[in-house]
Chains A and B, each alone.
Chain A
Amino acid sequence: MSTIGLETPVGREATAHHEEDTGFWSWITTVDHKRIAIMYFVAATAFFFIAGLKALVIRAQLMFPEQTLITPELYNQFFTMHGTTMIFLVAMPMAVAFFNYLVPLQIGARDVAFPRLNALAFWIFLFGGIYLNSSFLVGAAPHASWVGYATLTSPEFSPGQNTNFWLIGLSILGIASIMGGVNFITTIINMRAPGMKLMRMPLFTWMTLVTSFLLITAIPVIGVALIYLGFDRLFGTVFFQPAGGGDPVLWQHLFWIFGHPEVYILILPAFGVISDIIPTFSKKPLFGYPIVVYAGILIGFIGWGVWSHHMFTVGLGPIADSFFVAATMIIAIPTGVKIFNWLATMWGGSLKFTTAMLFCVGLLAVFTVGGLSGIMHASAPVNLQQHDSYFVVAHFHYVIVGGAMMGLWAGLYYWFPKVRGRFLDETLGKWHFWTTMIGFNLTFFPMHFAGLFGMPRRIFTYSAELNVDIYNQLSTVGAFIFGISSVIMVWNIVKSWRSGEPAPANPWGAPHLEWATPSPPHHYNFPRIPTVRSREPLWHKQERDEILAVTMPDPEEEPLMPNPSYWPIVLAAAITLSWALVMTGIWWVIALGILPVILATFMWAFEPAFPEGHGH
């Protein structure tokens, strides 16, 4: 391998350039994937704090046995909205923020395939999230847990609007997810720079592709389940109503056919992130690149055949149970393979422990614990013991926080200099990392024991006789430390955004195309589209020189970029409104609500996407 490209200097400041419009309305109407990414990140972080505060209230309530800090009703709303928000409004959109910023830059494109659709998906997500949280304002937040099992959601047991907020909110978010999936699949399949073959794409782009396929295939399944639930509640169908012959287990099947692929929707982006970061800070190409790619694809496939491991207590019979036990154990293999690939990449490399790298290593350690506890309850008999206990709560937090979120935080430190042209503060970063590690493990490791000693999840308090006080107290202390770590992170972002140390174009000496642009990149990304000849284009001197020669200079005439547009936000508002009107359960109101959607769609379709007068 030739020398590492550390010497590329140009930051954006150095190439002063015509002023981009940065006012408020320019953000509302933007169709630039980089700005949309920043909005996704900010919104997801805001929701992270909203859901995190709920977790702190929950932990305070559970610190001592038989407390009554909050009522059982409010407790139900808090744990339901904590889970729903963290999954659908934090982990997923946070990953989408990275998809948005990075995919076009990594494949050498100027934007995604459908820039306005991209903006539309963001606004739908934001409005859907606001709608879902507005349920607290009317005192009717969802309260039947994030899995919404029938018959807890039946009109009989969940009267009022609580569950309607939940099912309509999730439907709205699902629309945004499918739009995102379609957009990123098209972008990655169709908009790669010359020479950017599939097997040369950075792993992050690869995992975005696999995740997008999971999105477009898994979301429709929960979409149908939510439609059934809505019809049951509003129009008297009997899909999940035993009294009418319906089967509540159907909900469990549909939910988990979506729900398990969803786990990989959450985790694969993080795998992509660390597969890009570890090689950079090991100064070695990723060990076994094709194997990491194929393992990711395999995980995506097998992820469809394991859903009933969430349902061992239902009593599906020994044959079905055995099948899902086996499938679940098999899916651990490609995941384990990836762990060894990352370790082998670091093996013998010249390691540099920046904050980004620390989070990657932290992920490997913590996620492995979550993987191991997952294999424990993959076994049906063991599962019967652990089902619906705090052991499961510990397990999935190790996977989703220790896997997905740690990976995305690694990505935050790694790509922030590209986004802002300034570094995040490394000292604060290390504080963030260590408080996260201590707070996270202190919160969730004791939960394994609380669970094994018999503490059920989703119960607003527990008896002193259960002897789980000490584990709960440790968890609560840990949760507050974890809370502090998140404040440190935001403080670091705000401070560094304003006055961080300036960063050059390729501060880490990384190998991929996004680092061949100034920091921050021009709004059109590449003045001319570079040609790629290898997997690590910036690590081969001749190839790097050729690429930088076309990507760095300012063009004589700027490339033509799509127009900003008001219609994405207007259409998103119309779509959210039309779905919200479903709550009324009145046919003609719902039908009327579709009119603004159609109107806004037409206005959108007839507005030119590009500046006039360019002959197309």
Chain B
Amino acid sequence: MAQAATASVEEHGHTSTGVSNWKVGFWTFIASECLFFGTLISTYMVYKGRAVVGPYPEEIFDVLHTTISTTVLLFSSLAFVLALHATQQGKKGIAILWLFFVIAMGAGFLYMEGTSYLKYIDYGLTLGSSTFGSAYYVLTGTHKVHVILGMVWIGALIWLLFRGRIPPAKSEQVEIAGLYWHFVDIIWIVIFTLVYLIQ
């Protein structure tokens, strides 16, 4: 009996809302992240027009290039949905395969964005060249750090799946990582819209 009552601690069992602690906690964290990126994006919006020396945004952004990298990142979210589905079905091999695709597309996104950075530096846009440069690199760089952390996390999930430590009953572990990955994607959509499309 005392055993049954223990279910209130940490991840398992009954909660007041019926939603698991991990999910409530993670959504709370995402709320916090929204303020974090909100501040970064607002600063960028205020600061891009204050640059007193070039290059200026309209001179250097290649919308087509960024559209492609954005699409790659979007498809990684789709792959993640399929990985979660496979995990819930207990098909760990397929889940691992899809997660590899997610990592590969994340890496593709980083590669394309990295080549953009190099091009912008060639144009003379650096961290210290103007308020636009400072705000642009810190905003998008922070997002890239989030992508990299997501890839490390997914790598750990692949290992756990491989070792058979994520049975369907524990698929929430994959689901939470998915929440994070989708959030990072959505933030990129906002950045893409505000930074690249509306110049």
Query: Is A616 located at the chain interface by the 8 A CB criterion?
Result: yes
Which of A111, A223, A557, A560 sits near B36, CB closer than 8 Å?
A223
Say yes or no: B21 contacts A186, CB within 8 Å: yes
Which of B3, B9, B43, B152 sits near A110, CB closer than 8 Å?
B9
Question: How close is B79's CB to chain A, nearest CB, in angstroms?
Answer: 23
Query: Is B10 located at the chain interface by the 8 A CB criterion?
Result: yes
Say yes or no: B36 contacts A220, CB within 8 Å: yes
Q: Which one, B81-89, B114-122, B130-138, B178-186, is touching chain A?
A: B130-138
Q: Which one, B23-31, B59-67, B97-105, is touching chain A?
A: B23-31
Which of A111, A196, A228, A559 sits near B5, CB closer than 8 Å?
A559
Say yes or no: A189 contacts B40, CB within 8 Å: no
Residues of chain B from 128 to 153 with CB closer than 8 A to chain A in the complex = 128, 130-131, 133-135, 137-138, 142, 152
- With A189-B16, A224-B39, A231-B134 as contacts: A237 and B128 at CB distance below 8 Å: yes
Residues of chain B from 25 to 79 with CB closer than 8 A to chain A in the complex = 25, 28-29, 31-33, 35-36, 39-40, 43, 46-47, 50-53
**Which residue from chain B places its CB closest to the CB of A527 in the assembled complex?**
B2
Say yes or no: B8 contacts A191, CB within 8 Å: yes
Residues of chain A from 138 to 190 with CB closer than 8 A to chain B in the complex = 178, 181-183, 185-186, 189-190
Which of B2, B35, B47 sits near A557, CB closer than 8 Å?
B2
Residues of chain A from 548 to 580 with CB closer than 8 A to chain B in the complex = 555-562
Chain A neighbourhood of B11, CB < 8 A: 609
CA distance A391 to B12 in the complex (A): 53
**Which residue from chain B places its CB closest to the CB of A598 in the assembled complex?**
B152
CA distance A217 to B37 in the complex (A): 11
CA distance A111 to B15 in the complex (A): 13
Q: How large is the interface on B (under 10, 10 to 19, 20 to 34, 35 or more residues)?
A: 35 or more
Which of B9, B51, B138 sits near A237, CB closer than 8 Å?
B138
Say yes or no: A227 contacts B138, CB within 8 Å: yes
Query: Is A54 located at the chain interface by the 8 A CB criterion?
Result: no
Question: How close is A588's CB to chain B, nearest CB, in angstroms?
Answer: 16
Say yes or no: B8 contacts A109, CB within 8 Å: yes
Say yes or no: A182 contacts B25, CB within 8 Å: yes
**Which residue from chain A places its CB closest to the CB of B128 in the assembled complex?**
A236
Query: Is A605 located at the chain interface by the 8 A CB criterion?
Result: yes
Say yes or no: B15 contacts A190, CB within 8 Å: yes
**Which residue from chain A places its CB closest to the CB of B51 in the assembled complex?**
A245
Query: Is A50 located at the chain interface by the 8 A CB criterion?
Result: no
Query: Is A235 located at the chain interface by the 8 A CB criterion?
Result: yes
**Which residue from chain A places its CB closest to the CB of B31 in the assembled complex?**
A216
Chain A neighbourhood of B28, CB < 8 A: 181-182, 185-186, 216
Say yes or no: B9 contacts A560, CB within 8 Å: yes
CA distance A556 to B28 in the complex (A): 37
- With A236-B127, A527-B2 as contacts: A562 and B15 at CB distance below 8 Å: no
Query: Is A259 located at the chain interface by the 8 A CB criterion?
Result: no
Chain B neighbourhood of A245, CB < 8 A: 50-53, 130-131
**Which residue from chain A places its CB closest to the CB of B131 in the assembled complex?**
A245
Say yes or no: B33 contacts A246, CB within 8 Å: no
Which of A224, A235, A237, A609 sits near B40, CB closer than 8 Å?
A224
Q: Can you name 23 A-B pairs with beta carbons within 8 Å? A: A110-B9, A113-B10, A113-B21, A113-B24, A182-B25, A183-B25, A185-B28, A190-B16, A216-B31, A216-B35, A218-B35, A220-B35, A227-B138, A228-B43, A236-B127, A245-B51, A245-B53, A246-B131, A247-B50, A528-B1, A528-B5, A529-B8, A557-B2
Other than the known A182-B29, A559-B5, A616-B12, what 11 A-B pairs have Cβ atoms closer than 8 Å?
Answer: A115-B9, A181-B32, A190-B17, A190-B21, A216-B35, A228-B134, A237-B137, A237-B138, A238-B133, A247-B131, A250-B43
Q: Which 4 A-B pairs have the closest CB atoms?
A: A220-B36, A237-B134, A236-B128, A216-B32
